[in-house]
Amino acid sequence: MQADDKPVLFACTLNGVRSVMAEAIYKQLSGKQAQSCGVMPGPANGFTAAVMQEIDLDVTDHIAQDFMALNPEDFRLVISMSAEAKLEAESWAGPDIDHKHWPISEPVGGDGNREAQLHAYRAVRDEIITQIQESFGL
Interior angle at CA 23, CA 53 and CA 121, nearest 5: 50
- In contact, 23 and 34? CB cutoff 8 Å: yes
CATH level 3 topology of 3-136: Rossmann fold (3.40.50)
Residue 132 belongs to what H/E stretch? helix 114-136
Give the span between the Cα atoms of 99 and 127, in whole angstroms.
19
Percentage of residues of the chain with pLDDT beyond 70: 96
pTM here?
Answer: 0.94
Average pLDDT over residues 85-113: 88
**pLDDT at site 118:** 94
E strand segments, 41-129: 77-80, 98-101
Instruction: Indicate whether 112 pLDDT > 80.
Output: no
Q: Report the b/e string of 39-48 with b at 16+ CB within 10 A.
A: beebeebebb
Give the span between the Cα atoms of 119 and 3, in whole angstroms.
37
114-138 residue pLDDT tens: 898 999 999 999 999 999 999 999 9
Q: How confident is the model at residue 44 (pLDDT cuts 50, 70, 90)?
A: confident
